[in-house]
Amino acid sequence: MEKIVEEFSIRTLSRSAPIYSRKKLEWLNSLYLRNREEGQLAEELLPYLEKAGVHRDQLNHHYLIQISSVLKENLVVLSQIEEYIGIFFDEKFFFAEDAKTILLDSKNREILRTILSVLEVSPEITSDTWPSLISQLEKKTGRKGKNLFAPLRAGATGKMKGPELAKTLPLLGKERTINRLKMALEIK
């Protein structure tokens, strides 16, 4: 900062108006957010969570730090937390329309049933068990990539876009994921 102050000169400023690129500013902000420490980012997200109806007394600080760690790759601005809040807080959870479209497809419903049967006998979902779980799901469903992950994401998160499932599902846990997949199968 001292170096900037030393080198600053009013004579070097241009008289023309600056040109702002919103995309460039958003990119810069997303870079800033990705480089924030989880504890700092968690604190910065608190006002946006409260605005969305999640009260501080409902928040476990450790859980909030985990959420911020998972979301930091997806956030361009802090207010975007509202797009993802339902993934992590059951009282705000809902199935978005594009997710419902995926979930209502008969082939995807069959995939969800298979995923559910595998999850029910699997150990807790963790970052260590994730690769094995995905291998089992690929083997049982005969699907890979988007064909497997789209119905899983839609059922578990209620959304078609969001943070990596490999980071999200361990945070949600096995029981919550199973409950959401059962809810997804009840959609008509």
102 in any annotated domain: yes
- Give the CA-trace dihedral at 49, 89, 144, 141, to 10 degrees: -170
Answer yes or no: do 87 and 107 share one domain: no
Answer yes or no: do 28 and 105 share one domain: no
Q: Which amino acid is at 53?
A: G
Number of domains in the chain: 2
Q: Which amino acid is at 71?
A: L
Host domain of residue 147: 97-186
9 in any annotated domain: no
2 in any annotated domain: no
Answer yes or no: do 83 and 113 share one domain: no
Phi-psi label, residue 71: left if phi above 0, alpha if psi -120 to 50, beta otherwise:
alpha
Query: What residue ranges of the chain have pLDDT lower than 50?
Result: none
CA distance 164 to 152: 12
Answer yes or no: do 80 and 101 share one domain: no
51 in any annotated domain: yes
53 in any annotated domain: yes
Burial profile 9-19: b = 16 or more Cβ within 10 angstroms, e = fewer? eeeeeeeeeee
Report pLDDT for 8.
Answer: 79
pLDDT tens, 36-76?
887 899 999 999 999 988 888 878 889 999 999 999 999 99
List own/partner pairs for 125-134 with CB under 8 A and 24 or more apart: 125/169, 125/170, 125/172, 125/173, 125/174, 125/177, 126/170, 127/166, 127/167, 127/170, 130/166, 130/169, 130/170
